[in-house]
Amino acid sequence: MHVRMDWDNSPQLVRTHVRRVFGELAALTKDQPVSLEHQDDELIGWLSQLCLLVNLPFHYLIPTESMLPDDSIRLFYVNPNWLQALVDGACSLGRNASLDLTHDQELIDAVISQIGKRMKAVRPLLQSKSVTAKELDEEVQAIGGFLLRSPLVRGWRGLEFKALSSQGTPLRALRIELLSDDVLIGLFEGIPYTLELDQPPEGYFFGFNHINGRYMKRLRNLDSGELLSESDSIEVAVQNEKMRTIDVYQTAKHMEAYFKKEITSAEFALQMIKTPYIGKVVRKDE
């Protein structure tokens, strides 16, 4: 109480001087490089995870179940003012006097800047990957993400997610984590306009399509491996439909007739690969 009264009753000149000192300290803090040593930045590291919505009560994110029903995905944008209020609230626990409030008001922007840089290191460090100091030079300017509630989360543990900006630029993943058996959250540096959901890479297999009672295989460029057009397809010869076996020799002959060259076993394998399915969610602004 005495500290609060002394500060509130102190001369304006003293209060101005103290604020100037705090302001200079804030400028130094904002410009200093981010340290990845645990003992040096334990608080910044904890606040960085907080700003990635780690350990927040779920009802802070989804106030009512109707906002995230079964079999749904929701794209969202994280309001930076909300994050600043979150950090301010987390740092307010030790405030006992108005001097503490003045200190926080001057330093909070600098702390937010440090957190914005440190957030880029949270996911790589959890994955035991290295992070260079250069990667942490610039702070995160915007955070967008998604919430997925679906049996896919439980059934496909290796799902991969790729977010693209409105210009088609890939966005850095800041956090992709399970919140429950059927709910998953993803956060990216930037605002996703397109979200790609890829089956796990181990889902590669040999396959073809059943079209109008025939088994057809869409071919690939022999040099690049890229898929050709739908019309560039050959029929897959079936050896025994009941036993679900194909005639490899005859199918290879169909490929040779299309490419007008002899097909090697490696080229045959390339043609028969069927990549895992990719689902896309595209944001449409009204």
- Specify the long-range contacts of residues 76-84, CB closer than 8 Å, at least 24 apart: 76/144, 76/145, 76/146, 76/147, 77/142, 77/143, 77/144, 77/191, 78/53, 78/142, 78/143, 78/144, 78/145, 78/187, 80/142, 80/143, 83/51, 83/112, 83/143, 84/108, 84/112
pTM for the full model? 0.68
Q: What is the pLDDT of residue 255?
A: 94
Q: What is the pLDDT of residue 179?
A: 92
Give 10-residue mean pLDDT values along the chain (286 residues): 51 50 47 56 82 90 89 91 86 68 68 84 83 81 93 82 91 93 94 87 76 90 89 90 89 94 92 81 76
Q: What is the pLDDT of residue 146?
A: 94
Residue 58 token pair: 């779920």
Distances in Å between the Cα of 47 and the Cα atoms of 56, 76, 84, 219 are 12, 21, 11, 51
Q: What is the pLDDT of residue 36?
A: 61
Which SS3 state, helix, strand or coil, does residue 262 take?
coil
Q: What is the pLDDT of residue 98?
A: 66
Q: What is the pLDDT of residue 106?
A: 64
Q: What is the pLDDT of residue 213?
A: 85
Residue listed under structure tokens 């609230």: 89
Q: What is the pLDDT of residue 11?
A: 54
Q: What is the pLDDT of residue 24?
A: 45
